[in-house]
């Protein structure tokens, strides 16, 4: 790990000052943010938050962007009432904090949200996107869950491919060239495994000069040279969903 004192660089970037266009709902035991497009649709996207939790304005901004592009978008609280990480927390406690929030143990919550989207929102084709912690969760779901149609893993820590690399659904992987947390060597190993074993469409893309969090945690007006890559990452995410949903 590149930085033992700060095991996740998710505090790079800014918390957007953004209110959100959707609404919060209670779905069985989970709270969720939901934003619907102007026209009715049977396509939905589950947005899986990073370590900062479901209320982070940046993640809701992405959900609203997906709704603007014609999807029912929902960002559930996959920490189920537990607090999200705060930048002021002591990074020395991060590993203990993470033990009660496993990206590979969200199946119960996903089933609840899938039921809600199908029965109450009329969704028939459902994809998933996730950032950081949520990006790892997307990898887990693309390997295990038969009820989704496509996924986009955005700087998700590569952790679920030890046993299998047989993805069930088309998956797009977004990585940053200068991500201190996900070395490019790990990305190369993942690509090789997918090349050997994967039977569905996939793409692994590395964005030059970018750092962890660039798609949703960087403000576009801070560094003009980053703006094209931020916009490209978001456009690639939407294009992948459009193609497979």
Q: In angstroms, rounded to a whole number, what is the distance separating the alpha carbons of residues 167 and 198?
A: 6
Options 179, 216, 226, 236, the catalytic residue: 179
Residue 25 has pLDDT above 80, yes or no: yes
Mean pLDDT of all residues in 103-130 = 98
- The yes-or-no answer on residue 236 being catalytic is no
Nearest residue to 130 (alpha-carbon basis) of 139, 121, 119: 139
Options 140, 169, 212, 216, the catalytic residue: 212
pTM for this prediction: 0.93
Between 26 and 11, where is the model more confident?
26
Given a contact cutoff of 8 angstroms between Cβ atoms, the answer to whether 153 and 136 are in contact is: yes
Between CA 205 and CA 212, with CA 185 as vertex, the angle to 5 degrees is: 55
In 3-state terms, the chain is what percent helix, strand and coil (to 5)? 35, 20, 45
The pLDDT confidence band at residue 2, using thresholds 50, 70 and 90, is very low
pLDDT digits (tens, 9 = 90+) for 84-114: 999 889 999 999 999 999 999 999 999 999 9
The pLDDT confidence band at residue 5, using thresholds 50, 70 and 90, is very low
* Cα radius of gyration (the chain): 17
Q: How far is CA 152 from the centre of its chain?
A: 7
Residue 202 has pLDDT above 70, yes or no: yes
Nearest residue to 152 (alpha-carbon basis) of 167, 133, 131, 168: 131
Helix ranges restricted to H, 38-88: 57-68
Helix ranges restricted to H, the chain: 57-68, 94-99, 107-120, 133-144, 184-197, 214-217, 227-244
Mean pLDDT of all residues in 61-85 = 97
Options 8, 10, 35, 132, the catalytic residue: 132
Q: What is the pLDDT of residue 17?
A: 74
CATH 3.40.50.1820 fits 9-244, yes or no: yes
Q: What is the pLDDT of residue 3?
A: 35
Mean pLDDT of all residues in 70-86 = 97
Given a contact cutoff of 8 angstroms between Cβ atoms, the answer to whether 61 and 88 are in contact is: no
- The yes-or-no answer on residue 121 being catalytic is no
- The yes-or-no answer on residue 75 being catalytic is no
């Amino acid at each position: 790990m590149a930085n033992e004192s700060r095991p996740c660089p998710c505090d790079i970037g800014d918390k957007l000052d953004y209110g959100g266009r959707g609404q919060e709902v209670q779905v069985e035991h989970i709270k969720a943010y939901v934003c619907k497009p102007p026209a009715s649709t049977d396509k939905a996207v589950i947005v899986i938050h990073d370590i900062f939790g479901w209320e982070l304005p940046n993640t809701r901004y992405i959900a609203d962007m997906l709704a603007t592009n014609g999807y029912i978008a929902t960002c559930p609280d996959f920490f189920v009432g537990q607090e999200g990480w705060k930048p002021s927390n002591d990074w020395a406690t991060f590993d203990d904090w993470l033990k009660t929030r496993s990206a590979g143990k969200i199946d119960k919550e996903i089933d609840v949200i899938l039921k809600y989207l199908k029965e109450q929102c009329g969704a028939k084709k459902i994809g998933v996107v996730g950032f950081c912690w949520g990006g790892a969760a997307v990898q887990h779901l693309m390997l295990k869950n038969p009820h989704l149609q496509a996924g986009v893993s955005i700087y998700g820590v590569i952790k679920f491919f030890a046993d299998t690399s047989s993805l069930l659904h088309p998956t797009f992987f977004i990585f940053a060239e200068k991500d201190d947390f996900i070395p490019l060597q790990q990305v190369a190993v993942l690509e090789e495994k997918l090349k050997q074993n994967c039977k569905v469409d996939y793409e692994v893309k590395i964005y030059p000069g970018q750092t962890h969090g660039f798609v949703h945690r960087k403000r576009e007006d801070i560094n003009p040279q980053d703006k094209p890559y931020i916009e490209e990452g978001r456009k690639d995410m939407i294009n992948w969903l459009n193609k497979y949903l």
